Structure 1
Amino acid sequence: MKKIDLVNVIDRSRIHSFHIWLIFWLFIVIMFDGYDVVIYGASVPSFIKEWGISDVTAGVIGSYTVIGTAIGAVLFGTLADKIGRKNITLLTTFLFSFFTLLSSFASGPVVFTIFRVIAGIGLGGIMPNVIALATEFSPKRVRSAFVSFVFCGYSAGAIMAALTSRSLLPTVGWESVYLVGGVPLLFIPILIRTIPESISFLLEKGRVKEAKEVLSKIEPGFSKEDSVEFVKPETKLQGSPIFKLFVEKRAFSTVMFWISCFSAFVLIYSMNTWLPRLMMKAGYDLSSSLAFTAVMQIGAIVGTIIFGPLVDKLGFKKVLVPLFFCGAIALSLIGFTDSTLIAFALISVIGAASVGVQNMSNAFVSQYYPTRMRSTALGSTMAFGRLGGIVAPTFVGILLSMNFSPQYNFAAIASAAVLGGFAVLFVQEQHANYIEKEQTETKDEGLTVPK
């Protein structure tokens, strides 16, 4: 009877069609997540004009939506460790797609806000589980790059939102962009067939036959008919799942991850909700302002693609800390330039230092903690981070209502990037799960791994 360590099999597996299709569909799911978030910022000027609401009210609606995402991050991040990441991914995809679709039929701000909050609950649950699945099934040598690529889908969706809004808002109105947000409902049957359940979860629940079927897709040399003994996966510890993030010398780093995520979400939601409005205040028209939104997301994608692989070579902190500080500098400078070209360049840096940094930070958190608490770690980190997303729309709305100059508005937002940079700097990598695994790797050499 063969003795198999699942972690070693997945870590050493070769990339083939299973990985490609899984990463592709996770990318698509996150793409519509990004689309859903950005369409609100794009449509805010339309709501202010049609419903007669103020900047502050528009910001509050954005904040309520992020409250929903915080609830979803905690609820579904923890629940996934109990009922499976695949099931939660499917459920949350349905939630955010269906209620985004319903938002297009809202007759006023109250009904619209209710639909957006429920959609936000789904959006909050998507991220931690997609990250956990991408992390678990990616070979070790390309894990950070795969996870970062999946979250380029967020920026791709944001670009799609900016371009769609730019073409549809002036002609057929804001309702049309929310109708497009319901498209993922059509993909759910494909996701059911394509996305696997976590093997660690299957073994923990005693579903060995299903675990063998998934493993045979990862490692074609393995037959699901083989008689094997799986090395027992990490068992769940008793007690509060979130409390376990603060034991084994991880408490300080957990707090630093939360602060870093808070800072990143302040940047992301400030810019996603208010960038068109901020640029209009700076003298640009709506069409040009939406172009800035697209450029910011292009910067996020390019930054993730360039710096994501560097993370595997240099380490997370050596990449993320400088990016945070570069974002602070770019935000501080953008209010002082009259050149559209320079503004585009600075906005692209901000994209890399906000959405791009968060993409790579997700991979950092995912690999820092053991598998048994990965979804909980990601869910709780994003839940705390989304407090920044709750604060940001209302805070910037208040700034805009005070009629400060653009320089002051952007400088206020830049302070979040400085805070995030210091938080990542203080993360204690010596207590990370991947460091502990490297230290014990030699003990696992006697285990039989299918070739």
Structure 2
Amino acid sequence: MRTLDVHPIIDNARFTPFHWMVMAWCGLLLIFDGYDLFIYGVVLPVIMKEWGLTPLQAGALGSYALFGMMFGALVFGSLADRIGRKKGIALCFALFSTATILNGFASSPSEFGIYRFIAGLGCGGLMPNAVALMNEYAPKRLRSTLVAIMFSGYSMGGMLSAGVGIFMLPRFGWESMFFAAAVPLLLLPVILYYLPESIGFLVRQGRTDEARALLKKLDPACDIQPGDTLQATDRKGGGNAVVELFRNGLAVRTLALWLAFFCCLLMVYALSSWLPKLMANAGYSLGSSLSFLLV
């Protein structure tokens, strides 16, 4: 009888179709996530005109989803450690898809903002859980590459949102953009069927048979005997206070990284929210304005 740590097995595994499957499903989840986040910028010119919103009101309305993302990442990231990545992803996915559909029924800016905040909770929670699941299953030498490829689904979701808007907005109205979220929701059972649970979580929960089956799919060459005991060593280092980021000459580097991330996110979310409206004000048609967002 041996005691095997699952992490070295995963780190040293050869790249197999199983890894492709995990990356594809996680990438698909982020496509839907990106669609939901970019959709506000697509419909903004129309709802500002229909509801008579000022730029200040429209900006506040767009920020509700971002506040929801912040709280969702904090809450659902920790919750998934207890209930499992798969359940955490399913909960977040169902939450933001349902809230997005309800946005299509909103009859006032206040109601719209509430649904956007709820959708933001799900979007913010899904992203770190999908990244963590991909990170856990990826071989060590390919981890950064696979996570980066998977994360491109977020941008593809934004492109999908703009493309769908060019076709649907002039024909079916802004509500149809949110009703389209029913399609991903219908795929949820299929995604849950194929998406694997975290192996580390299964081992910690004593579900060793499921963990063995996943390890064999991940690395068919691994030699796991029926009597072997599996363990998942916690690879997290000891916790440090945030103040440590500002000691030993790290203060300037820490602030520079924070500023860089702030500027990048400001640019991404500002452009995704306001670019179609700005181009419409410049005299472009709705379809042409959305094509700028697609680019």
Return 11-20 or 254-263, whichever deviates more.
Answer: 254-263
Counterpart secondary structure, 1:86: helix
The 1:257–1:122 alpha-carbon spacing in structure 2 relative to 1, beyond 3 Å, is farther
Aligned to 2:241: 246
CA distance in 2 between counterparts of 1:62 and 1:244 reads 35
CA distance in 1 between counterparts of 2:200 and 2:255 reads 27
Code of the residue aligned with 1:38 in structure 2: it is: F
CA distance in 2 between counterparts of 1:3 and 1:256 reads 44
Kindly indicate whether the alpha-carbon contact (under 8 Å) linking 1:27 and 1:150 is maintained by their aligned counterparts in 2.
yes
Aligned to 1:288: 288
Aligned to 2:152: 152
- Which structure is higher in RCO with an 8 Å CA cutoff and minimum separation 6? 2
Code of the residue aligned with 2:239 in structure 1: it is: K
Aligned to 1:267: 267
Return the TM-score normalized by structure 1: 0.60
Note the aligned Cα RMSD (angstroms): 2.4
Structure 1 residue 174 and structure 2 residue 174: aligned?
yes
Kindly indicate whether the alpha-carbon contact (under 8 Å) linking 2:11 and 2:139 is maintained by their aligned counterparts in 1.
yes
CA distance in 2 between counterparts of 1:200 and 1:259 reads 34
CA distance in 2 between counterparts of 1:73 and 1:284 reads 37
Name segments (4+ residues, structure 1) moved above 6 Å.
253-256
Kindly indicate whether the alpha-carbon contact (under 8 Å) linking 2:7 and 2:232 is maintained by their aligned counterparts in 1.
no
Kindly indicate whether the alpha-carbon contact (under 8 Å) linking 1:39 and 1:161 is maintained by their aligned counterparts in 2.
yes
Q: CA deviation at 1:260?
A: 4.1
Aligned to 1:26: 26
Aligned to 2:276: 276
The 1:23–1:232 alpha-carbon spacing in structure 2 relative to 1, beyond 3 Å, is closer
The 1:193–1:287 alpha-carbon spacing in structure 2 relative to 1, beyond 3 Å, is same
CA distance in 2 between counterparts of 1:61 and 1:104 reads 15
Structure 1 residue 229 and structure 2 residue 229: aligned?
yes
Aligned to 1:331: none
Code of the residue aligned with 1:246 in structure 2: it is: A
CA distance in 2 between counterparts of 1:137 and 1:235 reads 14
Q: CA deviation at 1:92?
A: 0.3
Structure 1 residue 4 and structure 2 residue 4: aligned?
yes
CA distance in 1 between counterparts of 2:282 and 2:4 reads 61
Percent sequence identity is: 41
CA distance in 1 between counterparts of 2:280 and 2:209 reads 58
Structure 1 residue 204 and structure 2 residue 186: aligned?
no
The 1:232–1:149 alpha-carbon spacing in structure 2 relative to 1, beyond 3 Å, is closer
Counterpart secondary structure, 1:4: strand
Structure 1 residue 53 and structure 2 residue 53: aligned?
yes
Kindly indicate whether the alpha-carbon contact (under 8 Å) linking 1:71 and 1:124 is maintained by their aligned counterparts in 2.
yes
Count of aligned positions:
290
Give unmatched runs, 5+ long, in structure 1: 238-242, 296-451
Return the TM-score normalized by structure 2: 0.90
Q: CA deviation at 1:178?
A: 0.6
After superposition, residues 54-203 of structure 1 pair within 5 angstroms as 54-203=54-203
Q: CA deviation at 1:31?
A: 0.4
> Cα deviations across residues 260-288 of structure 1 (Å, max 9, x unaligned)?
44333212110110111223344433222
CA distance in 2 between counterparts of 1:216 and 1:169 reads 47
Aligned to 1:362: none
The 1:203–1:294 alpha-carbon spacing in structure 2 relative to 1, beyond 3 Å, is same
CA distance in 1 between counterparts of 2:27 and 2:140 reads 19
Code of the residue aligned with 1:18 in structure 2: it is: F
Counterpart secondary structure, 1:284: coil
The 1:259–1:279 alpha-carbon spacing in structure 2 relative to 1, beyond 3 Å, is same
Q: CA deviation at 1:68?
A: 1.0
